[in-house]
């Protein structure tokens, strides 16, 4: 009898231990995060992506009870940031921001050391934003349709300014020239301030960049926005028509910022973060703060974000190949 009781006791103890082994991770996931979380951003401090993630990180900290710390790691193609994120354990303690720029990098770089579709797990989009087609406030071109017609009548006489070759802004200009049939000469600049100075000096005649980058110039009435790049008017600038309204049918360039985690991050953690971001991005104060930067707060499911990334990779691959832009 004693032996039977002992065996039964041992079996019960083993069963309990097995149950704890199964429930342990689930319990840990429900308590996530248990320590500060790092978010790696592939851009420098102060830019639109950096400001966006800091607004969101502040709210995640409040909601989940642990600090979400932003770490800036700028570098071409987001390679530095991606490598750092992928070298971390897939435990939800290190997250990273990927953007439409990531979608451009896949076809643009010949040896990109990561595959965003295979090496990362999507969590949620944070926001979307359009690019502005802006001119000097004193420009004779009062609408984008006028500018397109001028470029057709006098080919090669108008210059379009963007930041570096291979940037989303540059590729937007390439797509625009092809779709509108406008003969514009591209002039690349190191940064937006340099491009803006060229526009104000009339060295260039059209500037393509984000509302956040041109915010001061717009408010100071140094430049005028002729159009926005999205499929519908921006909630941030509802009085500015779209490129489509200027007669370029189907034109759509929608930029985005989103949160990802290294491959292997538990699904429960991804879903917890996704649910938290859905609530945060629906809050009116967050919507207002982001809209002031020209960003429309937007959450998406992991599946929707995956499709957005995949679709943008193929879209920009076609633009790059058609334009004959050499790989970097």
pLDDT, tens digit (0-9, with 9 covering 90-100), for 262-310? 999 999 999 999 999 999 999 999 999 999 999 999 999 999 999 999 9
What six digits make up the tokens of 222?
């140094």
Q: Specify the CATH number of the domain 130-246.
A: 3.40.190.10
| Residue ranges of the chain with per-residue pLDDT less than 50 | 1-2, 4-5, 7, 9-28
Residues of the chain with CATH 3.40.190.10: 130-246
Question: What pLDDT does residue 173 have?
Answer: 97
Rounded Cα gap, residues 120 and 81, in angstroms: 12
Question: What pLDDT does residue 17 have?
Answer: 46
User: For residue 99, what is the enclosing H or E element?
Assistant: strand 94-99
Question: What pLDDT does residue 22 have?
Answer: 42
Question: What pLDDT does residue 75 have?
Answer: 86
Question: What pLDDT does residue 91 have?
Answer: 97
301 HSE (CA, 13 A, CB side)? 3
In DSSP terms, which residues pair with 160 in a beta bridge? 186, 206
User: Residue 58: is it exposed, middle or buried by C-beta count within 10 angstroms (0-12/13-18/19+)?
Assistant: middle
pTM of the model: 0.86
Question: What pLDDT does residue 29 have?
Answer: 60
CA 55 to chain CA centroid, Å, is 15
Beta-carbon count within 10 A of 66 CB: 15
What six digits make up the tokens of 165?
């070759």
Residues of the chain with CATH 3.40.190.150: 37-129+255-323
Question: What pLDDT does residue 186 have?
Answer: 97
Rounded Cα gap, residues 47 and 77, in angstroms: 16
Rounded Cα gap, residues 219 and 292, in angstroms: 12
Q: Find out if CATH 3.40.190.150 is the number for domain 37-129+255-323.
A: yes
Q: What angle do CA 81, 86, 92 make, to 5 degrees?
A: 100
């Amino acid at each position: 009898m004693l032996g039977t009781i002992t065996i039964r006791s041992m079996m019960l103890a083993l069963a309990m231990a097995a149950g704890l082994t199964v429930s342990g991770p689930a319990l840990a996931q429900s308590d996530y995060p248990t320590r500060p979380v790092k978010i790696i951003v592939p851009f420098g401090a102060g830019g639109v992506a950096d400001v966006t993630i800091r607004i969101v990180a502040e709210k995640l900290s409040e909601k989940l009870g642990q600090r979400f710390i932003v770490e800036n790691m700028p570098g071409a193609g987001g390679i530095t940031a991606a490598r750092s994120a992928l070298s971390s354990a897939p435990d939800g303690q290190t997250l990273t921001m990927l953007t439409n720029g990531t979608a451009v990098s896949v076809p643009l770089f010949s040896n990109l050391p990561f595959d965003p579709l295979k090496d990362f797990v999507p969590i949620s989009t944070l926001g979307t934003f359009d690019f502005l087609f802006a001119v000097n406030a004193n420009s004779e071109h009062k609408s984008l349709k006028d500018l397109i017609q001028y470029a057709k009548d006098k080919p090669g006489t108008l210059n379009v300014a963007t930041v570096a070759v291979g940037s989303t802004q540059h590729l937007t200009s390439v797509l625009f020239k092809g779709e509108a049939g406008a003969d514009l000469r591209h002039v690349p600049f190191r940064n937006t301030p340099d491009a803006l100075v060229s526009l104000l000096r009339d060295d260039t005649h059209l500037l393509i960049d984000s509302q956040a980058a041109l915010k001061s110039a717009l408010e100071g009435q140094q430049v005028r926005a002729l159009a926005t790049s999205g499929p519908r008017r921006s909630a941030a600038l509802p009085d500015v028509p779209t490129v489509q309204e200027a007669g370029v049918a189907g034109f759509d360039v929608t930029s985005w910022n989103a949160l990802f985690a290294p491959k292997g991050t538990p699904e429960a953690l991804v879903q917890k973060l996704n649910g938290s971001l859905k609530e945060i991005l629906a809050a009116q104060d967050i919507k207002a703060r982001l809209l002031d930067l020209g960003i429309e707060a937007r959450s998406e499911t992991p599946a929707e974000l995956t499709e957005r990334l995949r679709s943008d990779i193929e879209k920009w691959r076609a633009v790059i190949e058609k334009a004959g832009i050499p790989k970097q």
